[in-house]
Amino acid sequence: MGTSFPKGFFWGGATAANQCEGGWNEDGRGPIPLDMTLSGNKVTPRFTTMQLSDGRVVKVAPFAPEPEGAKRVVVDGEYYPSHDAVDAYHRYKEDIALFAEMGFKMLRMSISWSRIFPRGIESAPNQAGLAFYRSVFQELQAHCIEPLVTICHYDTPLYIEEELGGWSNREVIGLFDRFVQTIFTEYRGLVKYWLTFNEINSQLVAKTFAPEHAAGMMQKSYQALHNQFVASARAVRAAHRIDPDYQVGCMICSFCDYPLTCDPHDVLACQQKAQNMFWYCGDVMVRGAYPPYAQRIWNDDRIELAWGDGDVEDLKLGTVDFFSFSYYSTSCVTTHEGVEKDGAANMSLGVKNPYLEYSEYGWSMDPIGLRYLLNEIYGRYQIPIMVVENGLGTTDIVEPDGSIHDPYRIEYLRAHIEALKAAIADGVDLRAYTPWGCIDLVSASTGEMHKRYGFIYVDRHDDGTGTFDRIRKDSFYWYKKVIASNGEDL
Ligand code: BGP
């Protein structure tokens, strides 16, 4: 092909605090909604246990409206995956040593907001929380691994969600300001790359999962998203003020779709889905203003956004330095009836593509789509890009001799790295690749442990048993070789 990965390319992996740390109530950390949510079974995403105002305890399905006045509660004897997760809070040094052994140049990780501000509203940060991440960053620095830090990865403090009404309340922007300014000041010299919100567009899927509650939910979701756009833009401005070397990116979940047929209705529906679910966020965060088609979206969903003084200016002046996204699978869009839908717990929300193979979780595997999407994004924005999540979530088997053979994972990642290489040859300015769950961790959509992505296996199981021992899978040795050859030896 001629073109290869550039020198200094950031090979690495990605994690998130709530899915790997555990230590949910240690050293002053405050709870987040996910700490109060039960693991579901294989096909049912997590339920939330809530106490009604009359004292009764009920389980509330994902995306269902929460009963008035109900509070999330933790019930004795039930298993909450985030409480211990894979115990990275206590084992991060061992984990970082393993990442270094693979040759990682970058680790995408997140800071748990409620370790720093337990309820989100305190006027002074929790020193133990600050010290924890300082120690993690120093450990990474000692191993020459560059952190890429997600500031908010699905873990807004519970207090903000329950008492303040979450992100649809504008006040939260100010609380986020204080949080980001604290960490930007604290970690100067230890961190350079930041992402504001993980998969900021994911809150838009509620409509498709729960159409019966769509009206009120969408008004709330779009307002919450607007407030996050403003908070993110203000964070970019604060970062550049505090340290001109800071680079801040957006992080968007890739809804990458194809029209199922060449019926123009399908083609138009596909274009509109991409605008609604993907470009809507990228356009605001990269270009600094809502795109013209936003008006169509607001009209369709009868959205009326409340704007604050200064929002227009913040959005305009707080555009991101680079674009990042998660990529797992693609989907199809059709206006025709009777076509089979994608698998459960799959955010792509489309119909099956007859040309693709599917994982056991019903996620399509489409490396060509990655090259296609990278070209689409770069053609539109022409700013550096990082692919900060990608991978195959599946069951792994530990052999009697302790080895783990995962050729399916190697095959998936190899094909996707080839697609990255092809996109670079197409002219895309790609800077980093951090596959998801580089060490096994709790699944976001199912709360399971046995949906594994890692190069490193963790002995932890769906019922909460296990030793937390770390074991190198075959893919560990393969990825090490890939990194050592800068993507040549696949
Ligand atoms: C993304 C999230 C991650 C992660 C990943 C895999 O949407 O940003 O937090 O978990 O998906 O999804 P899952 O864990 O549901 O397999």
In this predicted structure, what is the pLDDT of residue 64?
Answer: 81
Of 95-109, 207-221, 336-350, 364-378, where does mean pLDDT reach its minimum? 336-350
CA 187 – ligand 1 centroid, Å: 26
Q: What is the mean pLDDT of residues 89-100?
A: 98
Which residue, judged by its Cα, is nearest atom 9 of ligand 1? 444
Ligand 1 site, residue 282, Cβ cutoff 6 A = no
- ipTM (interface pTM): 0.97
| pLDDT score of 293 more than 80 | yes
Give the model confidence (pLDDT) of 356-383 as tens digits.
999 988 899 999 999 999 999 999 999 9
| pLDDT score of 348 more than 80 | no
In this predicted structure, what is the pLDDT of residue 95?
Answer: 98
Q: What is the mean pLDDT of residues 213-227?
A: 88
Give the model confidence (pLDDT) of 117-151 as tens digits.
999 999 999 999 999 999 999 999 999 999 999 99
Q: What is the mean pLDDT of residues 82-94?
A: 97
Give the model confidence (pLDDT) of 420-445 as tens digits.
999 999 999 999 999 999 999 999 98
Ligand 1 site, residue 199, Cβ cutoff 6 A = yes
Q: Where exactly are the structural domains of the chain?
A: 10-30+80-484
Give the model confidence (pLDDT) of 63-73 as tens digits.
788 888 899 99
At the topology level of CATH, where does 10-30+80-484 sit?
TIM Barrel (3.20.20)
Q: Is the pTM of this model over 0.80?
A: yes
Reduce the secondary structure of the chain to three states and give it as a string: CCCCCCCCCEEEEECCHHHHCCCCCHHHCCCCHHHHEECCCCCCCCEEEEECCCCCEEEECCCCCCCCCCEECCCCCCCCHHHHCCCHHHHHHHHHHHHHHHCCCEEEEECCHHHHCCCCCCCCCCHHHHHHHHHHHHHHHHCCCEEEEEEECCCCCHHHHHHCCHHHCCHHHHHHHHHHHHHHHHCECCECEEEEECCHHHHHHHHHHCHHHHHHHHHHHHHHHHHHHHHHHHHHHHHHHHCCCCEEEEEEECCCEEECCCCHHHHHHHHHHHHHHHHHHHHHHHHCCCCCCHHHHHHHHCCCCCCCCCHHHHHHHCCCCEEEEECCCCEEECCCCCCCECCCCCCCCCECCCCCEECCCCCEECHHHHHHHHHHHHHHHCCCEEEEECCCCECCCECCCCCECCHHHHHHHHHHHHHHHHHHHCCCCEEEECCECCECCCCCCCCCCCCECCCEEECCCCCCCCCCCEEECHHHHHHHHHHHCCCCCC
Which residue, judged by its Cα, is nearest atom 3 of ligand 1? 444
Ligand 1 site, residue 326, Cβ cutoff 6 A = yes
| pLDDT score of 257 more than 70 | yes
